[in-house]
């Protein structure tokens, strides 16, 4: 697989002529990420993870595009009919020729006054794990962790605990769209140091960077 990172939490996986996009949200280069895509996975309903209007417009043009997401997102994409499937944790399915397993269940708590929404993490080919806005640890091994390094619902210590719990050999950052360069340097410095201590290798990816997995 080739993984390409876009701004914030959007990533694209290309494999054998097929393309799978995860979390094409409003902070991301949705049109670029979605070009020629076969399928989309959406972890939850927040707009930094799904740009509903843009995704709907693209799906109306790319008529073979299929989408998997929590039920709350499916309701927002109702105009696309059966091309959108609701996913629950524990389910497995194929998307764009890749095996996908769903984990988690809910978004991390922001505050008692902020409603908690459904969140599904996706493990692709038992290799790449995108947790969405969650620190839910899958009960299976992960080769590449997409690590949410900054969010209104987290602190650095929790990010590091999640990194340690998953113990993936390879780690790349996501959910970084709210950090400036200085903040990124501080957080990633902690991540890099702790990753090495626990047998992981952290590599920063800029928007548009690709790596072969």
Q: pLDDT tens-digit profile of 66-96?
A: 999 999 999 999 999 999 999 999 999 999 9
pLDDT band for position 97 (50/70/90)?
A: very high
Residue in the structure block whose two tokens are 């709907």: 56
CATH code (residue 30): 3.60.15.10
Give residue 171's domain range: 2-212
Number of helices (H) and strands (E) in the chain: give both, helices first.
5, 14
User: What's the chain's average pLDDT?
Assistant: 97
Q: pLDDT tens-digit profile of 142-176?
A: 999 999 999 999 999 999 999 999 999 999 999 99
Question: What local confidence, expressed as pLDDT, does residue 146 receive?
Answer: 98
* Total count of domains within the chain: 1
pTM exceeds cut of 0.85 = yes
Among candidate residues 141, 142, 95, 151, the one with its CA nearest the CA of residue 119? 151
Question: What local confidence, expressed as pLDDT, does residue 123 receive?
Answer: 98
Element spanning 186, H or E: helix 181-197
CA distance 34 to 23: 10
Question: What local confidence, expressed as pLDDT, does residue 125 receive?
Answer: 97
pLDDT band for position 53 (50/70/90)?
A: very high
Q: pLDDT tens-digit profile of 177-191?
A: 999 999 999 999 999
Are 122 and 22 in contact by the 8 Å Cβ rule? The answer is: yes
CA distance 205 to 128: 15
Among candidate residues 15, 56, 22, 62, the one with its CA nearest the CA of residue 41? 22
């Amino acid at each position: 697989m080739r993984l390409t990172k876009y701004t914030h939490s959007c990533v694209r996986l290309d494999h054998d002529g097929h393309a799978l996009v995860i979390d094409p949200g409003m902070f991301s280069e949705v049109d670029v990420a979605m070009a020629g895509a076969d399928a989309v996975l959406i972890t939850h309903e927040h707009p930094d993870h799904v740009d509903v209007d843009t995704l709907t417009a693209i799906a109306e043009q790319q008529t073979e595009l299929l989408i998997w997401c929590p039920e709350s997102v499916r309701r927002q994409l109702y105009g696309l009919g059966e091309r959108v499937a609701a996913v629950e944790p524990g389910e497995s399915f194929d998307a764009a020729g890749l095996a996908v397993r769903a984990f988690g269940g809910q978004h991390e708590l922001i505050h008692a006054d902020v409603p908690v929404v459904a969140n599904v993490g996706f493990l692709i080919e038992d290799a790449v794990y995108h947790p969405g806005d969650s620190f839910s640890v899958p009960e299976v091994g992960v080769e590449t962790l997409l690590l949410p390094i900054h969010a209104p619902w987290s602190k650095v210590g929790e990010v590091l605990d999640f990194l340690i719990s998953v113990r993936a050999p390879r780690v790349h950052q996501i959910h970084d769209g709210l950090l400036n360069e200085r903040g990124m340097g501080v957080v990633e410095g902690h991540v890099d140091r702790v990753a090495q201590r626990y047998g992981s290798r952290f590599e920063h990816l800029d928007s548009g960077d690709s790596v072969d997995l």
